[in-house]
Structures are given as C-alpha cells and as structure tokens.
C-alpha cells in the first residue's frame, strides 16, 4: 500500500512537471506572439501616417481625375490595413 502511494505520488510529480513545462512553452509562445502583434501595430500606424501624408501631397499636387484614382487606391489600401488589423486582433 505504501509502495502504491509512493508510485502515485511520483506519477503525480511527473505529470505536474510535464504540465509546468508545457505551460512555460505556451507562455513563451504567447509572449512572442504579443511582441509580433505590437510590431505589426507599429508598422500599421506608420503606414497609416504615410497614407495621410500621401493624401495631403496628392490633394495639393494632382489634378482632379488623378486625385480620384489616388483616392480609390488609398481607400483600397486602408481596407487592406483594416483587414490586417482585424486579423491581428483575433
């Protein structure tokens, strides 16, 4: 009976250590994913700032037909960025 308790206790310790190791791995992966996410958010912010600058530049330099085409391209880029943001938030 004592031997059985000892075996159960050793098995329990082994299971605990395995789960702890698994938790450490998952924690490291989560941290890495959060860092990547933050990096992507910064990149998106920079791109949005560049888009705003391009809009201003186009508004002052492009004829009306070209600005309409530029606006369509910028709107398409914004939609793509919004899709990326929504995927990052999932």
Q: Which domain holds residue 20?
A: 2-89
pTM of the model as a whole: 0.50
pLDDT in tens, 18-45: 999 999 999 999 999 999 999 999 999 9
Over the range 2-26, which residues count as b (16 or more CB within 10 Å of their CB) and which as e?
Answer: eeeeeeeeeeeeeeeeeeeeeeeee
In the chain, what is the straight-line distance between the N-terminal and C-terminal CA atoms, in Å? Answer: 51
User: What are the structure tokens assigned to 57, written together?
Assistant: 């530049």
Return the pLDDT at 66: 63
How many domains in the chain?
Answer: 1
Residue whose structure tokens are 């308790």: 5
Distance of CA 67 to the CA centre of its chain: 32
């Amino acid at each position: 009976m004592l031997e059985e308790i000892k075996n159960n206790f050793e098995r329990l310790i082994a299971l605990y250590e395995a789960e702890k190791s698994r938790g450490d791995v998952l924690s490291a992966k989560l941290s890495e994913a959060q860092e990547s996410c933050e990096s992507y958010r910064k990149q998106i912010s920079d791109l949005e700032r560049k888009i705003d600058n391009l809009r201003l530049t186009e508004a002052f330099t492009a004829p009306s037909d070209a600005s309409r085409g530029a606006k369509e391209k910028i709107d398409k880029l914004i939609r793509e960025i919004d899709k990326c943001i929504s995927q990052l938030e999932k």
